[in-house]
Amino acid sequence: MKEQLEQIKAQSMQELESATDLQGLDEIRIKYLGKKGALTSVLRGMGALPPEERPQAGALANQARAAIEAAIEQKDAQLSGQARKAQLAGETLDVTMPGRRHKAGKLHPLTQVLDDVKDIFIGMGFSIAQGPDVELDYYNFEALNIPKNHPARDTQDTFYIDENVVLRTQTSPVQVRVMEKQKPPIRIIAPGMVYRSDAVDATHSPVFHQIEGLVVDKGITMGDLKGTLEVFAHALYGADVKVRFRPHHFPFTEPSAEMDVSCFVCGGEGCRVCKGEGWIEILGAGMVHPKVLAGCGIDPEVYSGFAFGLGLERVTMRRYDIDDLRLFFENDVRFLKQF
């Protein structure tokens, strides 16, 4: 019996040695440890032994079983490792092939830049106001100190609906609408479409977007105008840009100014983009004209304010180096995808 066990052990070890896969290993397990396996039949034969030999034979058999089991387990681990390795090797992918994407769409570049502008002013306590595109001549011109036959009307070639109704040529009428409705303090920006009778080319469009701004409160100064718009310029163009204010004229502000930033292409040295000036005009601004305040029922002796306006297309064209205004309204997806 002892020899028999030794033999089974030796034979099984030999077979294990030559097992090359998990299936072979399983066959060996069944062959030796299975219900009808070699070791099992030896154990089954123990009943034939005299009772005093049985414990020893039992111990021997258990030893043999443990040894075989341990060897199988070891071999199993070895073969499993090899098999996983082979599996992984077979599953190698070309990771440079393109990914499978769920394509999201994009917002129009003008919307994206407008969102930036809105965020900057909302951070300074501004709300967003809106007004109609089809506007009364009164709001678009007269309430802004631009009476009929004022020369400023010539520079803003106006689309007329009738004698008293126009397509707004600027977002400034929203200023008046807000001041008529709301008591100071007022801090708003009013983005929107405006209309001028300009034929379409690379730099002109009969439809474009402006962003108007208005602040009215007690004690608002021209220093506040400068400070607020400098914050805006730095937020939009970076803390490094230099900002300057030049005198200008708008009928509805006094004093009026234009704000330039140092050219972000050449840094102020002078280049093609800034036409050698070193400065780029960004927006028009000014202290709200006392006549405009008074016309809206706000006492200019008590309140003061400033207003500003900028062209969204211009800002966007400069940000992305777009050279043709028409692209914004053609809506070619090859363009829209780029932003």
CB atoms under 10 Å from CB of 300, counted, come to: 16
Nearer residue to another protein within complex by CB, 167 or 310: 167
- Among residues 187, 160, 152, the alpha carbon closest in space to that of 308 is found at 187
Regarding 168 and contact with another protein (CB under 8 A), the answer is no
**Among 10, 30, 193, 302, contact with another protein (rule: CB under 8 A):** 193
Binding mask 246-275 for another protein (x = CB under 8 A): xxxx-x--xxxx------------------
Regarding 155 and contact with another protein (CB under 8 A), the answer is yes
Q: Taking the complex as a whole, how short is the minimal distance between the CB of residue 21 and another protein, in angstroms? A: 41
- Among residues 280, 282, 301, 300, the alpha carbon closest in space to that of 292 is found at 300
**Among 24, 34, 132, 267, contact with another protein (rule: CB under 8 A):** 132
Nearer residue to another protein within complex by CB, 57 or 137: 137
Structure tokens given for 327: 């692209």
Nearer residue to another protein within complex by CB, 99 or 223: 223
Query: Are 206 and 200 spatial neighbours (Cβ–Cβ below 8 Å)?
Result: yes
3-class DSSP state for residue 215?
A: strand
**Among 207, 266, 271, 273, contact with another protein (rule: CB under 8 A):** 207
Contacts to another protein from residues 1-40, by CB under 8 A: none
Strands (E) located in the chain: 127-128, 134-136, 160-162, 165-167, 186-195, 207-218, 243-250, 253-262, 279-288, 303-311
CB atoms under 10 Å from CB of 19, counted, come to: 19
Q: Taking the complex as a whole, how short is the minimal distance between the CB of residue 173 and another protein, in angstroms? A: 11
Name residue 113's amino acid: V
Contacts to another protein from residues 51-90, by CB under 8 A: none
**Among 217, 235, 271, 273, contact with another protein (rule: CB under 8 A):** 217
**Among 221, 269, 299, 302, contact with another protein (rule: CB under 8 A):** 221
Regarding 320 and contact with another protein (CB under 8 A), the answer is no
Nearer residue to another protein within complex by CB, 16 or 188: 188
Nearer residue to another protein within complex by CB, 24 or 278: 278
Regarding 210 and contact with another protein (CB under 8 A), the answer is no
Phi-psi region of 250 (alpha: psi -120 to 50; beta: other; left: phi over 0): beta
- Among residues 147, 136, 215, the alpha carbon closest in space to that of 169 is found at 136
Q: Taking the complex as a whole, how short is the minimal distance between the CB of residue 174 and another protein, in angstroms? A: 13
Q: Which part of the chain contacts another protein (CB under 8 A), choosing from 12-20, 60-68, 92-100, 114-122?
A: 114-122
Regarding 204 and contact with another protein (CB under 8 A), the answer is no
Structure tokens given for 149: 């036959």
Regarding 136 and contact with another protein (CB under 8 A), the answer is yes
Contacts to another protein from residues 89-108, by CB under 8 A: 102-108
Q: What are phi and psi of 244, to 5 degrees?
A: -140, 155
Cα–Cα dist 186/175, whole Å:
10
Contacts of 331 (CB under 8 A, 6+ apart): none
- Among residues 10, 19, 14, the alpha carbon closest in space to that of 39 is found at 10
Nearer residue to another protein within complex by CB, 159 or 264: 159
Contacts to another protein from residues 272-291, by CB under 8 A: 287, 289-291
Q: Taking the complex as a whole, how short is the minimal distance between the CB of residue 101 and another protein, in angstroms? A: 10
Nearer residue to another protein within complex by CB, 45 or 123: 123
Contacts of 14 (CB under 8 A, 6+ apart): none
Regarding 333 and contact with another protein (CB under 8 A), the answer is yes
